[in-house]
Homo-oligomer: A and B are copies of this chain.
Amino acid sequence: MGKKQVTFADIAAYTNFSKTTISRYFNHPDSLTLENQEKISQALDTLGYKKNKLAKVLANGKSEFIGIIIPNLYLHYYSEMLTQILSSYRDFHYKFLVFVSDNGPSEEEQYIDELMAYQIEGLIVLSHTLSSEKLASYQIPVIAIEREAEHICGVTSDNYMGALQAATLLIRDKCDVLIHVNADVPKSIPAYDRIRAFEDTCQEYHVPYELNLNVIGDSYQDIFAQMKHIFSDIDEKYPCKKKGIFLANDTYANMFLNLIFQKYGCFPDSYELVGFDNSPIASEAILPITTVGQQIDLIAKTAIELLVQQMEERKKRRPVPLSEPIHKQITPVLIRRDTTS
């Protein structure tokens, strides 16, 4: 370190004020005369003062830290969400301590303990490994994003509306049969609504449909191998029909599109494709893919506002805690591109 920090005491000695006055210069400048403000301001930069916010936190208990637990940044959905969350610094000036975790509950608990030790005022959870019951047991505001959130506040896409829009489009475009390709999603998580909405819509319009929930595997290669089978099954099963395929995400949709292209050398009229997420691959594919765009910026904004509101509430002399968790849904938008008519 060499020489130690310049502190209020140094400024006070230099200006012949007390430490309190220096403190007030920062927190209630109006209570000083302009003349004295100027004096202190000068002293500050002749002495080269640097703030120490940690000392401030210790004194007033407001860390202005928010913890984030996120499963990975590999998926565009997560990296974009993190970007949006971090950029809320411009509005609220909360600082973010970020942990990436996808290695099970014990690691995640350890991370949260560490975050608590740094006196975070709130927590944003995007990972799925800890139950909302467990998360609620930490005595701070917690916001879940796109995950099970029974006992805590949560923000999700309106998956039902998203899938409904996708299915409706395929039906309007006069597809003879609709097929939904997805992993075998557990019913507890929000994304399950995509399956529900697809079925409901097909039934409502009396359109033949099929659910293919057989996608499994972690790596791109694994999933691509699955997708090859799924494609050839579908391609053989409905030779003369116009097939409307709704895929669980844009990565799946891109794979499917590539398989079609590799077989036919073009995108034939007998297919329509809709993906989900509006991730970069949907734009960058051999043909821009129609997709359901989650409004990530809005989701992040909603989550932060919900969190900030609760954190501010807790700082009041007589805080009124939420009587029960608030849950919000953000409607996604259908983005029509070249894989639908």
A: residues with CB less than 8 A from B are 1-2, 50-55, 57-58, 61, 63, 72-74, 79-80, 82-83, 86-87, 89, 95-100, 113-114, 116-119, 139, 220, 251, 254-255, 258, 261-262, 265-266, 280-281, 283-286, 314
Report A4 CB to chain B, min CB distance, Å.
9
- From B96, B254, B258, B283, A98 is in contact (CB under 8 Å) with B96
- From B57, B72, B97, A83 is in contact (CB under 8 Å) with B72
Q: A94 to B296: give the CA distance in the assembly, Å.
A: 29
Known: A220-B283, A286-B286. A96 touches B95 (CB 8 A): no
Q: List 14 A-B contacts (CB under 8 A).
A: A1-B314, A50-B117, A53-B117, A54-B58, A54-B118, A72-B83, A73-B80, A86-B98, A220-B284, A255-B284, A258-B284, A258-B285, A285-B286, A286-B286
- From B2, B79, B83, B251, A284 is in contact (CB under 8 Å) with B251
- CB pair B79 A73 closer than 8 Å: yes
- CB pair B89 A80 closer than 8 Å: no
Question: Which residues of B lie under 8 Å from residue A113 when comparing CB positions?
Answer: 51
- CB pair B95 A95 closer than 8 Å: no
- CB pair A73 B63 closer than 8 Å: no
Report A317 CB to chain B, min CB distance, Å.
11
- CB pair A254 B220 closer than 8 Å: no
Nearest opposing residue in chain B for A61, CB measure: B1
Known: A52-B119, A117-B53, A284-B251. A97 touches B99 (CB 8 A): no
Question: Which residues of B lie under 8 Å from residue A95 when comparing CB positions?
Answer: 97, 114, 118
Given contacts A53-B114, A74-B83, 13 further A-B contacts (CB under 8 A): A1-B61, A51-B116, A72-B83, A74-B79, A83-B100, A86-B99, A95-B114, A95-B118, A96-B97, A254-B284, A258-B284, A261-B286, A262-B286
Report A85 CB to chain B, min CB distance, Å.
10
Report A138 CB to chain B, min CB distance, Å.
10
- CB pair A53 B100 closer than 8 Å: no
Report A63 CB to chain B, min CB distance, Å.
7
Question: Which residues of B lie under 8 Å from residue A281 when comparing CB positions?
Answer: 280-281, 284
- From B50, B51, B54, B72, A57 is in contact (CB under 8 Å) with B54
Report A262 CB to chain B, min CB distance, Å.
7
Most B-side CB within 10 Å, residue of A61, A95, A220: A95
Q: A118 to B116: give the CA distance in the assembly, Å.
A: 16
Report A54 CB to chain B, min CB distance, Å.
5
Question: Which residues of B lie under 8 Å from residue A220 when comparing CB positions?
Answer: 280, 283-284
Q: A261 to B285: give the CA distance in the assembly, Å.
A: 11
Q: A98 to B1: give the CA distance in the assembly, Å.
A: 23
Q: A60 to B119: give the CA distance in the assembly, Å.
A: 17
Question: Which residues of B lie under 8 Å from residue A51 when comparing CB positions?
Answer: 113, 116-117
Q: A58 to B59: give the CA distance in the assembly, Å.
A: 11
- CB pair B286 A258 closer than 8 Å: yes
Q: A50 to B116: give the CA distance in the assembly, Å.
A: 8
Q: A63 to B51: give the CA distance in the assembly, Å.
A: 14
Question: Which residues of B lie under 8 Å from residue A80 when comparing CB positions?
Answer: 73-74
Report A200 CB to chain B, min CB distance, Å.
31
Q: A95 to B100: give the CA distance in the assembly, Å.
A: 12
Q: A83 to B102: give the CA distance in the assembly, Å.
A: 12
